[in-house]
Amino acid sequence: MALHRRWQATGDIHGACCDAKLDRSRHRDRIHPDSGRDPGRSDGYEDLNLGISRHIGKFAGDRRVLALLLLAALFIAGRSWLAAHPEHDPWAPLNLSDPPGWATQAKLQALRSDIPQCRAVLQRSEVAFSALEPAGEGDCRRTDRTRLDAYPLVPDTPPTTCPMAVALQIWKRDTLEPAAREVFGSGIARIEHLGAYSCRRLYGRDEGPWSEHATANALDIAGFVLDDGTRINVLSDWLAEGDKARFLRRVRDGACDGFATVLSPDYNSAHADHFHFDMSDRWRGTCR
Ligand SMILES: [Zn+2]
pLDDT in tens, 40-90: 444 566 666 666 666 666 667 788 899 999 999 999 888 888 888 888 999
Which pLDDT value is given to residue 79? 84
Cα 209 to ligand 1 centroid, rounded to whole Å = 14
pLDDT tens-place string over residues 23-34: 444 444 444 444
Question: Per-residue confidence at 220, pLDDT binned at 50, 70, 90?
Answer: very high
Distant-in-sequence, close-in-space partners of 273: CB < 8 Å, separation ≥ 6: 194, 222, 234, 235, 265
What crossing angle do the helices spanning 104-111 and 162-171 adopt, rounded to 10°? 150
pLDDT confidence of 12, banded at 50, 70, 90? very low
What stretches of 43-201 show up as alpha helix (H) in DSSP? 44-84, 104-111, 115-124, 162-171, 177-184
Task: Give the length of the chain.
Answer: 288
How many angstroms separate the CA atoms of 7 and 11, rounded? 6
Compute, in angstroms, the gap from residue 144 CA to the centroid of ligand 1.
Answer: 18
Which has more pLDDT, 265 or 18? 265
Taking the centre of ligand 1 as the mean of its atom positions, its distance from the CA of residue 256, in whole angstroms, is 15
How remote is the CA of residue 261 from the centroid of ligand 1, in Å? 10
Distance 218 CA to ligand 1 centre (A): 6
3-state helix, strand, coil in the chain (%, to 5): 50, 15, 35
* pLDDT beyond 60 at 272: yes
Residue 214 pLDDT: 97
Q: Which residues, listed in sequence order, are joined to residue 210 by a DSSP beta bridge?
A: 201
HEC secondary structure over 175-244: HHHHHHHHHHCCCEEEEEEEECCCCCEHHHCCCCCECHHHHCCEEEEEEEEECCCCEEEHHHHCCCCCHH
Compute, in angstroms, the gap from residue 203 CA to the centroid of ligand 1: 9
Residue 213: alpha-carbon gap to chain centroid: 30
Cα(121) to ligand 1 centroid in Å equals 25
Mean pLDDT, range 254-262, rounded to an integer: 93
Is the model's pLDDT at 107 over the cut of 60? yes
Question: Is 237 within 8 Å of 260 (Cβ atoms)?
Answer: no
Burial of 109 (0-12, 13-18, 19+ CB in 10 A): middle
- Give mean pLDDT, residues 196-224: 94
